[in-house]
Structure 1
Amino acid sequence: MGVALFTLGGTIAMAGPGQGGAGGLVVARLSGADLTAAVPALGELGVPLEVHDLDAVPSADLTFAQILALVDSASGAVEAGACGVVVTQGTDTLEETAFLVDLLWPRAEPFVLTGAMRNPTLAGPDGPANLLAAARTAASPAARGLGALVAFNDEIHAARWVRKTHSTSTAAFASPNTGPIGHVIEGRVRVLTAPARHRPLPLGPVAVDGVRVALHTVTLDDDADTLLPLAGTAQGLVVAGFGVGHVPSALAGPLGALAQRMPVVLTSRTGGGSVLRHTYGAIGSETDLQRRGLINGGLLDPYKARILLRLMLAGGADREAIAARFAEHG
């Protein structure tokens, strides 16, 4: 059995000016064979890597449909005998694609995503080390049953907690609420804590193209009028509120009205910590908003909440089922 490597592009696969490139901008794409050739230690992994080069797209251009197809292909590779899966992609949306995979991945075999913050034309590119750590994690029995993981900077993060917290640092990925669940130390995968797995969503065909879920980040002196068009354009809404889940009082009524028409999920814009449930009682507080019909997002950040809500709506879930899933995941 080997590890199936799927390559999508991104900084890890950028080599230098390609056709039409100018000014030294990195645009050319390295293949999976190129990536693995730059990591001689992969030969000591103990299992072969089977490379699958997919469409090279910036991670900002990735779609739900592409990730759903990737999960299907990865599942097929496992059925064919792979002991684990590695995906290389751009880091811009890696925290979101990892969570999308985690919601769907039904297998015990590890599904590990990684990338790079420094492209191969720079001094000290981190892609080779990240790829090696990801491959070691995917091949490790210690990582079985943990769902989707992100391997970066020799840290192993659970997909549902990991965030990209810096725009350029090689230590950009962190899990603010939990920290990494493991590390790669002297080539050995050390899983220090194993988060409980949630029930995966059905892996069957999901029609997400027609499902629109808006994300509104609450700001100082926010204007309620910006919410009004959503009633006619979206099937769901995620609100990134202040602190523990608060909004200006002027937004409470409009959000409550929207919650009568569509699922509205309340999250925190802070990047760490949970939305509360029953601490504050003023207009616009978490208690008030829940009373108006908003669904508590718990510990899920706004970006992950949007992914879960869109999948649930695409699968035809009603408000009760959506609220139950958020209670489970958040």
Structure 2
Amino acid sequence: MGVTLFAMGGTISMAGADRLDGAALTAAVPGLDTLAEPLDIRDLEPIGSGSLTFERVLSLAAAAAEAVRAGSPGVVITQGTDTLEETAFLLDLVWSWDAPLVVTGAMRNPTLAGHDGPANLLAAARVAESRDGRGLGVLVAFNDEIHAARFVRKTHATSTATFVSPDAGPIGHLVEDRVRVLTHPPRRRVLPVPVRSARVALYTVTLDDDPGTLAAVAEGQDGLVVAGFGVGHVPAVLVPTLGELATRMPVVLTSRTGGGSVLRNTYHQPGAEIDLLGRGLVDGGFVHPYKARVLLKVLLGDGATWSGDQVAAAFAQFG
């Protein structure tokens, strides 16, 4: 049995007004015939990545697990790139198999010169069938680079090199069609699949911010992720509101920069990290805002009541 391909649409399959199904998509990829076994192609209902839901992604995780259980050495998912860093991270949180689960897509559609979809799909398939890809969790194959889902980010609106891992770099490369894994980041614990849909908001702080806006965003939520300035700072005017919210729900402090960790013990002034953590906010560490929201939704969706200390302990493992 070969690698299982779940084709879910996105730019990689957009041929003008038409959409390529899995068979047409793979027919345009030279080199797939050199895989150990032909791909097992499974077409999914096409959906723009911006319209994906946790339910849809978790259903896909279950289908991928069933394919591995049936003997597939690995799984490839093609999707739109807009939310790829979030879907890959969500899949990674619940993926318990050694078999590689590789997510890929394209930045240029098949009607454009330099369409990157075929190269990305071939790279993903090679990683998925490779023994070197095993035990690494969910991976993203793009631009002949292999990224761990927990580190990867989309950093450019149009570049074919948009996917990078600012804090860790790629863990491997495709070189002359060979999968070369150079580093093996330790796996974090697999989390239970959520049994309910928790409501978690993401609030990005901005210059001359307004506590009324923050309070409105947090209204009715089960948790909140704050994307702060730099190493985890917010305007002083927001501090009382954040402190009050942290008594009612988990509030996770992250950095809006998209690279690096929030700090814990450097700055003391109102709105700095020492002040905020002292008021009950959770240190998000290296977990950046979009992924922090995914992680907090998974944690709060397990049916248990989570305290701030328990959320902090979970984030300490991932960030």
TM-score w.r.t. length of structure 1: 0.94
Gaps of 5+ in 1: 18-27
2:15 aligns to what SS in structure 1?
coil
User: What is the alpha-carbon distance in structure 1 between the residues aligned to residue 235 and residue 219 of structure 2?
Assistant: 23
Residue type of the alignment partner of 1:246: H
1:108 aligns to what SS in structure 2?
coil
2:253 aligns to what SS in structure 1?
strand
1:121 aligns to what SS in structure 2?
coil
Is the contact between residue 30 and residue 118 of structure 2 (CA under 8 Å) also seen in structure 1? no
User: What is the alpha-carbon distance in structure 1 between the residues aligned to residue 272 and residue 203 of structure 2?
Assistant: 16
The one of 48, 51, 63 equivalent to 1:58 is 48
The one of 291, 299, 304 equivalent to 2:291 is 304
Residue 318 in 1 paired to residue 310 in 2? no
Residue 286 in 1 paired to residue 276 in 2? no
CA drift of 1:229 comes to 2.3
Residue type of the alignment partner of 1:318: W
User: What is the alpha-carbon distance in structure 2 between the residues aligned to residue 41 and residue 65 of structure 1?
Assistant: 34
Which residue pairs with 1:178 in the alignment? 168
User: What is the alpha-carbon distance in structure 2 between the residues aligned to residue 200 and residue 54 of structure 1?
Assistant: 26
User: What is the alpha-carbon distance in structure 1 between the residues aligned to residue 172 and residue 154 of structure 2?
Assistant: 17
Q: Which runs of 4+ in 1 moved over 6 A?
A: none
1:233 aligns to what SS in structure 2?
coil
Residue type of the alignment partner of 1:78: V
1:131 aligns to what SS in structure 2?
helix
TM-score w.r.t. length of structure 2: 0.98
User: What is the alpha-carbon distance in structure 1 between the residues aligned to residue 217 and residue 296 of structure 2?
Assistant: 15
User: What is the alpha-carbon distance in structure 1 between the residues aligned to residue 45 and residue 147 of structure 2?
Assistant: 26
Residue range with higher mean Cα deviation, 74-83 or 309-318: 309-318
Residue 227 in 1 paired to residue 217 in 2? no
User: What is the alpha-carbon distance in structure 2 between the residues aligned to residue 125 and residue 163 of structure 1?
Assistant: 21
Residue type of the alignment partner of 1:304: K
RMSD, aligned CA: 0.9
Residue 328 in 1 paired to residue 317 in 2? yes
User: What is the alpha-carbon distance in structure 2 between the residues aligned to residue 184 and residue 44 of structure 1?
Assistant: 15
Residue type of the alignment partner of 1:298: G
The one of 100, 104, 110 equivalent to 1:120 is 110
Residue 4 in 1 paired to residue 19 in 2? no
Equivalences, count? 317
CA drift of 1:268 comes to 0.1
Is the contact between residue 231 and residue 261 of structure 1 (CA under 8 Å) also seen in structure 2? no
User: What is the alpha-carbon distance in structure 2 between the residues aligned to residue 189 and residue 231 of structure 1?
Assistant: 45
CA drift of 1:84 comes to 0.3
2:19 aligns to what SS in structure 1?
coil
Q: Deviations over 1:123-154 (max 9, x none)?
A: 11000000000000000000100000000000
User: What is the alpha-carbon distance in structure 1 between the residues aligned to residue 115 and residue 248 of structure 2?
Assistant: 49
Which residue pairs with 1:44 in the alignment? 34
Is the contact between residue 203 and residue 217 of structure 2 (CA under 8 Å) also seen in structure 1? no
| Structure 2 counterparts to residues 11-30 of structure 1, below 5 A | 11-17=11-17, 28-30=18-20
Residue 267 in 1 paired to residue 258 in 2? no
User: What is the alpha-carbon distance in structure 2 between the residues aligned to residue 47 and residue 250 of structure 1?
Assistant: 60
Is the contact between residue 201 and residue 218 of structure 2 (CA under 8 Å) also seen in structure 1? no
Gaps of 5+ in 2: none
CA drift of 1:326 comes to 0.2
Residue 91 in 1 paired to residue 81 in 2? yes
CA drift of 1:323 comes to 1.4
User: What is the alpha-carbon distance in structure 2 between the residues aligned to residue 232 and residue 268 of structure 1?
Assistant: 22
Percent of paired sites with the same residue: 64
Which residue pairs with 2:132 in the alignment? 142
CA drift of 1:165 comes to 0.5
CA drift of 1:202 comes to 1.7
